[in-house]
Structure formats: C-alpha cells, structure tokens
Structure 1
Amino acid sequence: MAIFVHLTSAANAPRIRRSGIRAASHGQGNARGVYCFPVLPSYTLTHQWLRELARFGSRGGLVAVHVRLDDAQDVLVGRYSDRARGSQAEVSAAEAVRRIAALDDPRGWEVFVPRAIRPREVHRIRSAPQVAGWRYLPDAHGVRPCTCAGCRVRGGYGARRLAERLPHPLDGPPPPVAALLARVEAGNPGDPVALREALYWFGRRRRGPLDRLIRLAGHPDPRVREGLVWAVAHWSTPGVSELLDGLADDPDADVREAVAAVREPE
C-alpha cells in the first residue's frame, strides 16, 4: 500500500473522519479529485506544500491527512507547472512514489488522485505546524517578487508594503478610453505591442467600444487576436458573443483555445 499525505483545513477533519476526502479539486484536463504527496523520509519534503497552502488561509490551520492507496491505483504525477500543459504522467500509485523518491529535488511535485478518498483509506489525521515548505514557488527566496494583479494575493501578509516598495508598471488607474483608442487606431494594421497593451487595459473594463475594436479580429498577428479575446470576454457590451463566435474558428490554435477557455463554465 502506498502512503500519501493530503493537506487541508482543520475544519474539514471531522467530515474526513466520517466520510473521507471529497473530490473537490480540479486537476489536469479539469478532472475532479484529490491532491496529495508521498510520505518521504524527509518531513520537510513530505510537507513542502504547507506554507504555500497556508498563504490562502484556512479555518483553524492546516492538518495532514495520511491516506493508504492500493499500489495499482491510477494517479497523475508531475510538477505543478506540468498541470497546465497537460503533461503530468498517468501512472500507478506505487510508481508515483518511486518516481518522486528518486528525484534529486522533488519540490513542486504533486500527485493527483482522480477520485474521492474513501473513509477506510484514511490512515490518520494529525496537526501540521505551518513552518515547513516554500512559498510562491521553490527557490523563491531571494528572487524579486512579482506584484502584478495576477501574482499578488490581496490581503496576504505584507502585501500592502510589498506593493508600495515594488509598484508594478501596470498598477494605477487605466489610461482614458480616448487615449487607448488612439493607440488602437494608429496605423493599419498597427504595432502589435502597442495594441496588446491597449487591449490589456480594455480587459480591465466591464464595457467598451466594441465597434472600434472589432477590426482587430482580422489583425495579422495572432497574439493581437488572442489579446482581443481576453479583453472583451467578460464585457456586457452587445455583440461580444458574436465576435467570439467568429474567433472560435480562427486559424491560430492559441486564439481558438483562448475562446474555449473564456467560455468554460466557472
């Protein structure tokens, strides 16, 4: 039997003892299941995800749930960055333990069980002091943190001081719509870099001048067309759905994937 550890909020412990671990997380290919990590001789490596998960808050702290899985249980194994690329490997639980244990540096690796964990597979639940592990990403210590809206955690420890010390160039109020439209309409087809920057700012609005941007759906640079998808995806302006319908058949795969991504149900 392969033994793994699953880290979760202490508030979930009574329910886990009673009915197991729900398949609430989303993994590669949007599968539902449970994330865990093999129990290794090193406590620090086994519980490496503690500090990163603690950044997002938990009721009563985190606990470590040890689970026993059949060696033949199918799981996905790989680095967390492999998940988005769809390159995590499907192997048995025993093979996942072997692969991770053989690594020189298993930080950032994870195992995904594509189903719920049954109550009889829960071996024990114990407290887990949140002092082990890395934050943000392995080897992040000493690396200048990114303070863009996508990377920073609002309300996180030291977030305000960090934003004041390292302001991001895209922070602050957006440029006026007239200035953004001037960038969009400067030249034909226009500078792709300037157009993508303007589309970034348009994407932070709830509505916009769709009739002035729609010509970018035919721009020769696919990165501009992809930027258009992300910019208008959540606008309430009439005509967005029809624009996305047209871009769904774009000859570039990245543009088509962007349309599919913004249309996925949340």
Structure 2
Amino acid sequence: MTLLVHLTAAKNIRSVRRVGIRAESHGRGGGTGVYCVPVLPSYQMTYQWGRELRRGGQRTFVAVHFRIPDDEMVWVGHYNSDPVRLASAEAAALVAQQEDARGYELFVPRPIQVREIHRVRRVNQVTGWRYMPNAHGKPPCGCPVCIPPGQYGGTKIRKAYEDSFNS
C-alpha cells in the first residue's frame, strides 16, 4: 500500500473524518480527483506544497495521510509538465528518486474513502516554496493569473511587471 499525503484546509477536518476526501480538484486530463504527494523521508519535500497553497487565501492546512493499493493507476509529474499515468507505487518511486522533488505531484482520479485514511495531522505552515521552486532571486510573474487582484503586495509586483514591458 502506497502512503500519500493530501493538504487541505483545517476547517475541512470534520468532513474528511466523516466522508473522506472528495474528488473536487480538476486534473489536467479532464477528470476530477485528489492531488497528493508521496510521504518521503524529507519533511520539506513531503509538505512542500503548503506554502504555495497558502497564497490562495487559506491560512491553516492539515495533512491527511492515506493509503491506496500499489497497483492503482494515478497521474504523476511536475506541476508545469504533462503528467504520465503509472501505478501508485511506481509513481511514488519516481518522485522519491528525483534529485529535486519540489513541484512534483500525484493525482488520484477518484475520491479517497474514510477507510483509506491513515491519519490527519497538523503541519508546519511555512514549509515549502512560493511562486515556484527556486524562486529566490527571480522576480515573480506579475500577470493577472499569477498575481490576482487583492493579493498582498500584488500592486507592487504587477507595476514592476508592467514597467518591464514599457522600458
């Protein structure tokens, strides 16, 4: 059984414990499912998405650890590349063998049942990267998709982005 972790808002704990994880996320293949990451030896790599997800406005996340059969097919890949379909054990091994696993994700194309959940735990809220892995020293993209209106510090970032086209 492959052990995976899904980050969700702390306000969803009761719902997750009652009915499991709903398949609400849209995968790049068109279906709905659950985004997750395999549990890796490195805490940083396991909970890498926490800080980036906070940019969406939710402040407190919890980790839902769950197990799925090793032969269940999932989608795996880096967030900005086309995913490939592999068995969950192969997908977890693919992520684990990466020299830099930041940005890798698995997509389980179905809901996660309560009986599959191993545990729910609180996690460090500042673990991970923002904008993209290795973003330090690079100016963030200021387009309206990357920096939506109302985001903290967004006006300054968008102005610098727009000025780069005018000069």
TM bin (shorter chain)? over 0.9
- Verify: 1:137 aligned to 2:132, yes or no: yes
Q: Look up the match of 1:255.
A: none
Q: Look up the match of 1:102.
A: 97
| Structure with higher strand content | 2
Q: Which has the higher contact order (CA 8 A, sep 6+)?
A: 2
CA distance in 1, matches of 2:96, 2:74: 16
Identical columns (%): 48
1:130 CA displacement = 1.4
Q: Look up the match of 2:14.
A: 14
CA distance 1:167–1:41, change in 2 (3 Å): closer
TM-score (norm 1): 0.59
CA distance in 2, matches of 1:167, 1:68: 43
1:40-55 to structure 2, matched below 5 A, reads 40-55=40-55
Based on CA coordinates, which of the two structures has the bigger radius of gyration? 1
Q: Look up the match of 1:36.
A: 36
* Secondary structure of the corresponding residue to residue 93 of structure 2: helix
* Secondary structure of the corresponding residue to residue 29 of structure 2: helix
Q: What is the RMSD of the two structures over their aligned residues, measured on CA atoms? A: 1.7
Query: Are the equivalent residues in 1 in contact too, given 2:141–2:161 (CA < 8 A)?
Result: no
Task: Write out the 4+ residue segments of structure 1 that deviate beyond 6 Å after TM superposition.
Answer: none
CA distance 1:28–1:161, change in 2 (3 Å): closer
Q: Look up the match of 1:71.
A: 70
Query: Are the equivalent residues in 1 in contact too, given 2:33–2:109 (CA < 8 A)?
Result: yes
1:167 CA displacement = 4.8
Q: Which amino acid aligns with 2:142?
A: T
Number of aligned residues? 165
Return 5+ residue gaps in structure 1 as ranges. 172-266
Q: Which amino acid aligns with 1:133?
A: G
1:185-196 to structure 2, matched below 5 A, reads none
1:172-187 to structure 2, matched below 5 A, reads none
Match of 2:88 among 80, 87, 93: 93
* Secondary structure of the corresponding residue to residue 112 of structure 2: coil
| Structure with higher helix content | 1
Query: Are the equivalent residues in 2 in contact too, given 1:148–1:170 (CA < 8 A)?
Result: no
1:170 CA displacement = 9.4
Q: Look up the match of 1:153.
A: 148
